[in-house]
Structure 1
């Protein structure tokens, strides 16, 4: 039974090409594969769940996104292990993406929560947390 499982999440983005470039490496690292592509969007799927990124209409871009407003705060993904979190962290740093809560990394979520936190090009917070080992 699939009742209650997440089917998909759709996110409007300010620059589709930039978002695709950002999300591609991370989602593929986590086991997602490209699911759909069209002129104004692209999605990646893992099992029965998929993430959709759609180019926002220009009239809605001006105010931008902020996770502390009403709406989405962040997306959190399971990673395979602490080792994978470390590998993802190295890739993030190599790409010049700032690590959030760097002074507490990799335990910014608490002493038993091994994760990396960062932001996508629209400043949506992303978290990848190690599965229990």
Structure 2
């Protein structure tokens, strides 16, 4: 099956900090860093590219019109628990911790985290 999304461009304010945060999270979800680039590729070919553009203005606000969050996948609950346990030391803040792992509903197993710049990522168990 061909990939549904070709790529995503993330415009961030602090590229070095975001590279550490996102690089760790994408790697934990099975994405591979592309050599010499601020880019990570999923095994299906989808990639995420990160940059600070001179065209951007203001700060990211996921509650304004636009993309609210990105959802990634892991294969098992054990992987999700590991990401949860390690996320804080890599700059991520857990959202809805009191409802983990069912903040999205009883049949939905996921972790919700937010980066230091306010980007929300939902990590969903696919199994």
Taking structure 2 as the reference length, what is the TM-score of the superposition?
0.88
Structural RMSD (CA): 1.8
Q: Is the radius of gyration larger for structure 1 or structure 2? A: 1
How many aligned residue pairs are there? Answer: 126
Question: What is the Cα deviation at residue 95 of structure 1?
Answer: 4.1
Runs of 4+ displaced beyond 3 Å? 93-97
Q: Which residue of 2 aligns with 1:91?
A: 86
Once the two structures are superposed, the pairs formed by residues 28-107 of structure 1 within 5 Å of their partners are 28-35=27-34, 37=36, 42-46=38-42, 47-57=44-54, 60-61=56-57, 63-95=58-90, 97-107=92-102
- Give 1:22's aligned residue: 21
Q: Which runs of 5+ in 1 are unaligned?
A: none
Provide the rounded CA distance (Å) in 2 between the counterparts of 1:118 and 1:82: 16
Structure with the higher fraction of residues in strand conformation:
1
Mark the runs of 5 or more structure 2 residues left unpaired by the alignment: none
Q: TM-score, normalised by structure 1?
A: 0.85
